[in-house]
Chain A
């Protein structure tokens, strides 16, 4: 089937809000190239489970495309129009299963050496869209906080090497009650600026006490879901003909209802958006099912990319130790042990990624970011009020440090 053949009834299997959106814009979708439309439908079909920022962006995108003349549409999407598709892709039921189509399209682009052309088309379109429909500026400047090194008594190598050039390094921070002070600062922000899914707290271990106004997700709370998912992955891979690609497709099709509400500890049954988000962290992330540091980093990336919060606190916790081969062969019992030092190195680098991902959002020049070595005196603060590549001799506590930075 080709886009020009689209009819409203083709969206009958979509969730209600998604069906309404797609139906409203069916005449627009009919005018778009086949290499482009399934990517858009992949977003639309999930519309009911999207965060407000994503919904708003999709609505504006569709409204914009619908206003383009045929010539303007052709020009805007010219890069996609020249992508050659296979007969198998053209015959695929891309309306019902757009995500699977996109997976197969990706393999096709790699094997036909059209990936670079597709990348360019995507980037050109994104630039065009950004210029025509600028994303909304955040209502207040963003603040990112990352806490690393839980459980590490001492560490002599330099930390924050990637972040120091962008801000001020503090080596005399008063760590007392630090986590509580940081979460308290978040609570005050959330109370002063009530924004749906606007203030987040992600924990790679056990969640600390925090107000309900914060959107939260943690590695430990999802333990039962992770265990269940890993069991399913193992069972699937033992089935004949099952390989990594088929497994990826299978996992992408999993839904919260496949597991039961009791597996989503800490996520309200009345919040289908967060339930879907929590599951996606484990089904779409790599290593998130096994390593808490990977979970926390990926959760932060996805929260920033999708929900675009104005406040995000990420606290890393020790992940399980990767056993060397000789231990695995030695038949040592399988109880996982923590690896605080390795986790500190993971988290130190992840803090850089958290900052990078925050800076990709609109308002980057006004955004602030603080990273702190939990229980210790070292931190880096980045923001308009902070000098770059500088070391401070001040000895603030965490609340003071935030008040100077934001």
Chain B
């Protein structure tokens, strides 16, 4: 019912075609694996249909609806059967295994990440796989504790808010409010553990001075805008093959203010469009980049008395577990909606098939409509 509704909304609103697994993938028509780049964006902490793809919500996502979806393959039913906490769910997306690590602890994923498979199998340097993440809690996402992978094989991780804290010498008061690590607990900002992207590397790697970084940050309205700015610098200066960007602004919903939640959706929609435009404008990326956009999970429905609607994702109900995925790029069918159920863990095997590595320990299946 959920998927049918989301599919029907899209077919009605955007004039999309209904796809099926019988339609052959166009993957072979795309660029070769060796030249291909992949960017994965997690859509900001989860949003529900009624604020996005349902008729009353489409006004909040004009860029996805009008610019990206007509060029994309859209999957209406991506089910997350794991733990619905942002760090652990993102770790599950990145490993292809439902991770059970403590969502709030500074722990690496237990299964190998997509970055480790990519680097080890294809013998790629650390500069070729990056993660841009919103909070200190994501510092360990790039590299698992798995004995066959792990140390030295993962992605490099940038935490833009943490960098900003260092660049501004960590003032207190209002600035602490900005640096809070998650929207579920005000003031919480865990200490960093693991490899840390240092402030001085801003200048050496990203070619931006601390002063310019600080000055530019003062023109931005949110941490996700800062993440996009850093991602664009990475694309320009380092040009990684595999880039993972975790958005988080929408999760302000935990504070219970509906208007802020809606603003977060609208901002994330705009940032996704800006990223796609940036991909088209960067010579290293244009025409050879596949962009995946998907929430890590949804949010609680209004109908579950055990929750409080949009505010949280605690009930584990169908709406909070079921979300969507948008894929756009060369070799991807345009304007097609697929409504079969798939799982969050299918992402890593699909990336493996696209880039040419073997995600041995991943539990999911590659998405045949894409590769």
Contact = CB atoms under 8 A, between A and B. Distances in A.
Nearest to B164: A329
Given A113-B81, A325-B225, A342-B257, A119 B217 contact: no
B221 interface: yes
B162 to A, nearest CB: 14
Interface in A325-347: 325-332, 334, 341-343, 345-346
Interface residues of B, number: 55
A315 interface: no
A322 interface: yes
Interface stretch (A19-27, A256-264, A290-298): A290-298
Interface in A226-266: 230, 233-234, 237, 243-245, 247-248
A118 to B, nearest CB: 9
Contact of B260 (A113, A322, A326, A350): A322
Interface in B167-185: 168, 171, 173-175, 177-178, 182, 184-185
Contacts of B15: none
A245 B256 contact: no
Given A243-B104, A325-B221, A331-B174, A286 B81 contact: no
Contact of A111 (B100, B173, B316, B317): B100
Nearest to A242: B188
B256 A243 contact: no
A345 B175 contact: no
A326 B220 contact: yes
A348 B106 CA distance: 39
Given A237-B187, A326-B221, A298 B308 contact: yes
A290 B219 CA distance: 25
Contacts of A195: none
A161 B188 contact: no
Interface in A268-302: 285-291, 293-294, 297-298, 301
A10 interface: no
A294 B310 CA distance: 12
A291 B252 CA distance: 12
Interface string B207-230: 000000010011111110110000
A286 B254 CA distance: 6
Contact of A360 (B255, B262, B305, B315): B305
B171 A331 contact: yes
Contact of A325 (B81, B226, B312): B226
B190 interface: yes
B255 A294 contact: yes
A51 interface: no
Given A245-B104, A247-B185, A294 B257 contact: yes
A243 B190 contact: yes
Interface string B88-108: 000000000010101011000
A319 interface: yes
B118 to A, nearest CB: 27
A317 B223 CA distance: 28
A295 B214 CA distance: 35
- Give the one of B187, B222, B257 with max A CB within 10 A: B257
B361 to A, nearest CB: 18
Interface in B300-316: 302, 305, 308-312, 315-316
A346 B221 contact: no
A115 interface: yes
Nearest to A123: B306
Contacts of A244: 104, 182, 184-185, 188
Contacts of A322: 252, 257, 260
Nearest to A347: B258
Nearest to B105: A243
Contact of B255 (A233, A291, A350): A291
A127 to B, nearest CB: 13
Interface in B77-129: 81-84, 98, 100, 102, 104-105
A116 interface: yes
Given A237-B188, A319-B257, A325-B221, A353 B302 contact: yes
A286 B256 contact: yes
Contact of B257 (A113, A230, A293): A293
- Give the one of A110, A343, A352 with max B CB within 10 A: A110
B257 A291 contact: yes
A290 B255 contact: yes
B194 interface: no
11 contacts: A110-B83, A244-B182, A245-B102, A247-B185, A285-B256, A294-B256, A322-B257, A331-B171, A331-B174, A332-B174, A345-B262
Interface of A: 110-113, 115-116, 119, 161, 230, 233-234, 237, 243-245, 247-248, 285-291, 293-294, 297-298, 301, 305, 319, 322-332, 334, 341-343, 345-346, 348-350, 352-353, 356-357, 360
Interface of B: 56, 81-84, 98, 100, 102, 104-105, 164, 168, 171, 173-175, 177-178, 182, 184-190, 214, 217-223, 225-226, 252, 254-260, 262, 302, 305, 308-312, 315-317
Given A287-B311, A325-B217, A326-B220, 16 more contacts: A110-B84, A112-B100, A230-B186, A233-B186, A243-B104, A243-B190, A244-B182, A286-B312, A287-B256, A290-B186, A294-B255, A305-B305, A324-B222, A328-B174, A328-B177, A342-B259
The 5 closest A-B CB pairs, nearest first, are A294-B256, A287-B255, A345-B259, A287-B256, A324-B221
